[in-house]
């Protein structure tokens, strides 16, 4: 099955050719975790994933044509 991974922030460094969207072929029944592995994203670099505007866990089973948004950890701001 074919799914799309969309990389945000620092995760774009894992996308080939500085693209922010990559199409990946995976076996039926694959999970977000399998997509993350196929995209060579290091686990400590990933904060959250979402599909269809819903946050999902890494064990979420993917469907043909899913577009998975991958987000890095967020930091910043000032302490007062």
pLDDT digits (tens, 9 = 90+) for 43-74: 889 999 999 999 999 999 999 999 999 999 98
In whole angstroms, what is the distance from residue 14 CA to residue 16 CA? 6
Give residue 79's pLDDT: 59
The pTM of the full predicted model, rounded to 2 decimals, is: 0.86
Helices of type H across 2-62: 32-38
Helix count and strand count (H, E) for the chain: 1, 5
pLDDT of 77 over the 70 cut = no
Decide: residue 50, CB within 10 A, 0-12 exposed, 13-18 middle, 19+ buried: middle
Task: List 56's β-bridge partners, or say none.
Answer: 49
Contact 32, 7 (CB under 8 A): no
- Domain ranges within the chain, ordered by starting residue: 2-56
């Amino acid at each position: 099955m074919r799914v799309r991974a969309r990389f945000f922030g620092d995760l774009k460094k894992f996308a080939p050719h500085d693209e922010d969207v990559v199409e990946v072929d995976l076996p039926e029944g694959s999970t977000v975790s399998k997509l993350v592995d196929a995209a060579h994203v290091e686990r400590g670099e990933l904060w959250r994933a979402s599909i269809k505007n819903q946050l999902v866990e890494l064990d979420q089973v993917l469907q043909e044509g899913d577009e998975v948004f991958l987000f890095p950890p967020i930091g910043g701001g000032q302490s007062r």
